[in-house]
């Protein structure tokens, strides 16, 4: 399949990328690894008239320890994040999730910035950043803004990034406690049918993959736990109030059931409890 015609520019800096976006508005799209955008373009679902390639901006590929946070440059590819000693030591759940995205070939190209800016509820990294209580750093003509993950994902493939802005960094707090990532898929390298990220930071934080039109915090579970429910009781409420999709892999009902099972497993693993 062949994409529709488009113009192509390689940006040598963030400023250059931003000025291209300002010039072309929402007819321009940033290209990093391309593993979310190029497939859409091959199917001609996305037809931007200009691609601004930021994939060579090495200054945005880093994993830094800043004391109580870890800062990850938006163009850090999943393979590098998974292998990063800083990430594995201080936010192991993030490194682990990065190592579970797709397959090795995808992880050689896909970036954390690309995954988060794409805003697919079935992606793993957005849910991980949400569970970690992370912050997204976005730059635009008006300057720099920091957006909490809880306010970042607005709808299916819609995020808080404006058409003339670029995500430059993902910042997550160091979380010393237990964690768990549960991802159920029928075949290797598939999207999660349902996924769960749990972080035991005081009262556990739980986020859900593919249970709605954005990555979601499992607030009913979190509230039940804060009210003193057992892990099993809290997990049994995972599907409440949610409207998960039905597709060829699973019905909404099955997804709701899966969420309760996977949340329970995630809570057990994250808290180190027996049951």
Partner 1 sequence: MKVRVTVNGAPYEHDLEPRLLLVHYLRDVLGLTGTNVGCDTSSCGACTILLNGDSVKSCTVLAVQADGAEVKTIEGMAGSGGMLHPIQEAFSEHHGLQCGFCTPGMVMAAASFLEEHPDPTEAEVREGLEGNLCRCTGYHNIVKAVLAAARSGELG
Partner 2 sequence: MELTNQFVVDVPVEQAWCVLTDVERIAPCMPGAELQEVDGKEYRGVVKVKVGPITAQYKGKATFLEQDAATHRAVLRAEGRETRGQGNATAIITAILEPIREGTRVSVVTDLTVTGRATQFGRGVMADVSNKLVGQFVDCLELTVLAGPTADEDGPRTAEEPVDLLEVAVPSLLKRAAPLVAALAAIAITAMWLARRKSRQH
Please state the length of the chain: 275
CA distance 115 to 123: 7
Angle between helices 252-271 and 219-226 (to 10 degrees): 40
- 200 exposed, middle or buried (CB, 10 Å; 0-12, 13-18, 19+)? buried
Q: Out of 189, 226, 227, 253, which residue is the one contacting partner 2 (CB under 8 A)?
A: 189
Spell out, one character per residue from 7 to 36, where the chain touches partner 2: x when CB under 8 A holds, - when not.
-------------------x--x-----xx
Residue 182 found at the interface with partner 2 (CB under 8 A): no
Task: Please report how close the Cβ of residue 201 comes to partner 2 at its closest, in angstroms.
Answer: 27
3-state secondary structure (DSSP) of residue 257? helix
- CB 106, CB 36: distance < 8 Å: no
Q: Which residues bind partner 1 (CB under 8 A)?
A: 1-8, 10, 31, 34-35, 38-39, 41-42, 51, 53, 55, 79, 102-106, 108-109, 188-189
59 scored as a contact of partner 2 (CB under 8 A): no
Closest CA to 116 of 78, 87, 88, 82: 78
What does 126 interact with, of partner 1, partner 2, none (CB < 5 to 8 A by kind)?
none
Q: Is 232 in the site for partner 2 (CB under 8 A)?
A: no
Kind and range of the H or E element at 266?
helix 252-271
* Residue among 173 and 254 whose Cβ is closer to partner 2: 254
Euclidean distance between CA atoms 252 and 244, whole angstroms: 5
Interior angle at CA 147, CA 142 and CA 151, nearest 5 = 125
3-state secondary structure of 183: strand
31 binds, options partner 1, partner 2, none, Cβ within 5 to 8 A by partner type: partner 1
In the chain, DSSP finds a helix count (H) and a strand count (E) of 12, 14
Beta carbon of residue 135, minimum distance to partner 1 (angstroms, whole number)? 29
The SS3 of residue 14 is helix
Distance CA 232, CA 170 (A): 33
Residue 151 near partner 2 by CB under 8 A? no
Residue 248 interacting with partner 2 (CB under 8 A): yes
Nearer to partner 2, 123 or 236 (CB): 123
Q: Which is nearer to partner 2, 39 or 148 (CB)?
A: 39
Q: How far is the CB of 79 from partner 1 (least distance, A)?
A: 8
Asked if residue 178 binds partner 2 (CB under 8 A), the reply is no
Site residues, partner 2 (CB under 8 A) = 26, 29, 35-37, 39-40, 43-48, 101-103, 106, 110, 118-120, 122-123, 155-159, 187, 189-191, 212-213, 243-249, 252
């Amino acid at each position: 399949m062949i994409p529709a015609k488009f113009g192509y520019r390689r940006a040598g800096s963030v400023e250059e990328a931003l000025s291209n976006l300002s010039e072309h508005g929402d007819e321009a799209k940033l290209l990093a690894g391309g593993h979310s955008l190029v497939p859409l373009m091959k199917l001609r679902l996305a037809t931007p008239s200009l691609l601004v390639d930021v994939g060579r901006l090495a200054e945005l590929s880093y994993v830094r320890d800043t004391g109580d946070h870890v800062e990850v440059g938006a163009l850090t590819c999943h393979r590098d994040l998974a292998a990063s000693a800083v990430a594995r030591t201080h936010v192991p759940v993030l490194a682990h999730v990065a190592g579970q995205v797709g397959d090795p070939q995808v992880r050689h190209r896909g970036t954390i910035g690309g995954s988060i800016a794409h805003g697919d509820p079935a992606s793993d990294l957005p849910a991980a950043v949400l569970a970690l209580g992370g912050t997204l750093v976005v730059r635009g003509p008006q300057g720099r803004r920091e957006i909490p993950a809880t306010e970042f994902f607005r709808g299916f493939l819609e995020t808080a990034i404006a058409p003339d802005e670029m995500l430059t960094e993902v910042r997550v707090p160091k979380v010393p406690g237990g964690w768990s990532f549960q991802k159920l898929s029928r075949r290797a390298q598939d999207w999660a049918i349902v996924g769960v990220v749990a972080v035991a930071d005081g009262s556990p934080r739980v986020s859900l993959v593919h249970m709605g039109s954005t990555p979601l915090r499992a607030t009913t579970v979190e509230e039940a736990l804060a009210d003193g429910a057992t892990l099993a009781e809290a997990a049994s409420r995972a599907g409440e109030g949610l409207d998960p999709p039905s597709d060829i892999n699973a019905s909404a009902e099955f997804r709701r059931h899966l969420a309760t099972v996977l949340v329970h497993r995630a809570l057990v693993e994250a808290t180190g409890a027996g049951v």
